[in-house]
């Protein structure tokens, strides 16, 4: 009797369609198992850029940053002022002494004009005083002029000459001040950054950035940082080469320049935001004369031939 009731309940459930949900679920499970069994294994991923490789049997590697031969020179001002002329632009190649920018000179020009007129007046007064003293000296009869008058003319002549020299010194000082308002290139080199504009106030002291950044890029150097534990393995004139970041096809030969005598905290980090307590030895190499199409500030992967112990 109980079996008949179960069969009756099954027929009622079948008639209502309650069988669809478990059947559909079973079909979905079987389909998923089938897809998983026939799906091909994923192909191994290959890096978009092959990592740089060294051709040396043993080597020391480091990150290098391209810089000018002269290092980067931040050009500042000797006197503060408003910029009125900028005859240069980024990328210009200059000689030492070429004008970079000129600040407002109106005030100092007015001072120079006043001093020039004062000098002209002092010269006339000096000539008159010298002539009056010459007359006193040429009088043959000492009774014709008193001693006090003679001394007065003598002192007036000396005072006029001294006044002329004083104004000349003030004029030289004013002209020097005017010359200091013209900022000139300290070396032969190229302008790499220009962060000053007409009408802006050029100030002294620490700034957010250099007014002008320049350097001698003939040739370019690359400053390589080697971890201090590998410093003993690096020798002067050891063969070295480098790759541009992201370009492992072109091998760039490097010419040894010098090893910096002081170990410093690491500056060039392989990963942005990386914080390390590592000290490094810095080595300078020269790039080929054509610059290998490198730019100041560009990074390189550098490999240095590691000499065998005892060699």
Give 283 or 11, the one with higher predicted confidence: 283
Which residues, other chains included, contact 214 with Cβ-Cβ below 8 Å and sequence gap of 6+? Answer: 68, 72, 73, 75, 94, 185, 187, 189, 190, 191, 192
Domain 106-180 coded CATH 3.40.50 = no
Spatial distance between the Cα atoms of 85 and 279, rounded to a whole number of angstroms: 44
Residue-wise pLDDT for 261-309, tens only, equals 999 888 766 555 555 668 899 999 999 988 778 999 999 999 998 865 4
Domain ranges of the chain: 2-38, 59-69+218-305, 73-103+184-214, 106-180
Average pLDDT on 104-124 reads 97
Instruction: List the Cα angle 106/108/84 in 5-degree steps.
Output: 40
CATH architecture of 59-69+218-305: Beta Barrel (2.40)
- pLDDT, residue 40, reads 63
Specify the 3-state DSSP secondary structure of 151: helix
Spatial distance between the Cα atoms of 311 and 309, rounded to a whole number of angstroms: 6
Residue-wise pLDDT for 72-94, tens only, equals 999 999 999 999 999 999 999 99
Structure tokens that stand for 301 in this block: 């992967």
Contact assessment for residue 244 and residue 49, using Cβ atoms and an 8 Å cutoff: no
Residue 310 has pLDDT above 50, yes or no: no
Residue-wise pLDDT for 26-65, tens only, equals 676 676 676 666 666 666 666 566 677 677 777 888 999 9
Q: Which CATH number fits domain 73-103+184-214: 3.40.47.10, 3.40.640.10, 2.40.50.100, 3.20.20.100?
A: 2.40.50.100
Residue 190 has pLDDT above 90, yes or no: yes
Residue 67 has pLDDT above 90, yes or no: yes
Average pLDDT on 205-229 reads 90
């Amino acid at each position: 009797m109980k079996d008949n009731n179960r069969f009756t309940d099954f027929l009622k459930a079948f008639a209502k369609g309650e069988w669809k949900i478990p059947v559909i679920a079973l079909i979905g499970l079987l389909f998923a198992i089938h897809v998983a069994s026939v799906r091909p294994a994923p192909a191994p991923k290959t890096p978009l850029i092959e990592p740089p490789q060294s051709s040396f049997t043993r080597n020391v590697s480091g990150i290098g940053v391209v810089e000018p031969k002269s290092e980067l020179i931040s050009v500042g001002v000797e006197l503060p002022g408003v910029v009125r002329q900028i005859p240069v632009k980024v990328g210009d190649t200059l000689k030492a002494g070429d004008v970079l920018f000129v600040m407002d000179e109106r005030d100092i020009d007015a001072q120079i004009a006043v001093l020039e007129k004062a000098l002209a007046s002092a010269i006339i007064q000096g000539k008159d005083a010298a002539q009056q003293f010459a007359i006193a000296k040429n009088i043959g009869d000492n009774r014709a002029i008193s001693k006090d008058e003679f001394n007065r003319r003598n002192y007036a002549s000396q005072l006029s000459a001294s006044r002329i020299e004083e104004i000349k010194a003030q004029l030289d000082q004013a002209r020097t001040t005017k010359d200091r308002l013209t900022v000139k290139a300290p070396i032969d080199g190229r302008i790499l950054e220009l962060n000053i504009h007409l009408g802006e106030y050029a100030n002294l002291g620490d700034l957010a950035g250099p007014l002008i950044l320049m350097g001698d890029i003939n040739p370019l150097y690359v400053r390589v940082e080697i971890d201090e534990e590998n410093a003993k393995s690096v020798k002067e004139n050891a063969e070295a080469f480098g790759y541009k970041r992201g370009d492992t096809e072109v091998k760039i030969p490097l010419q040894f320049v010098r090893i910096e005598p002081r170990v410093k905290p690491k500056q060039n980090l392989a990963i942005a935001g990386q914080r390390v307590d590592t000290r490094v030895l810095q080595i300078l190499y020269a790039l080929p004369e054509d610059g290998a199409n490198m730019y100041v500030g560009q990074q390189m992967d550098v490999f240095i031939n590691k000499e065998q112990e005892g060699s």
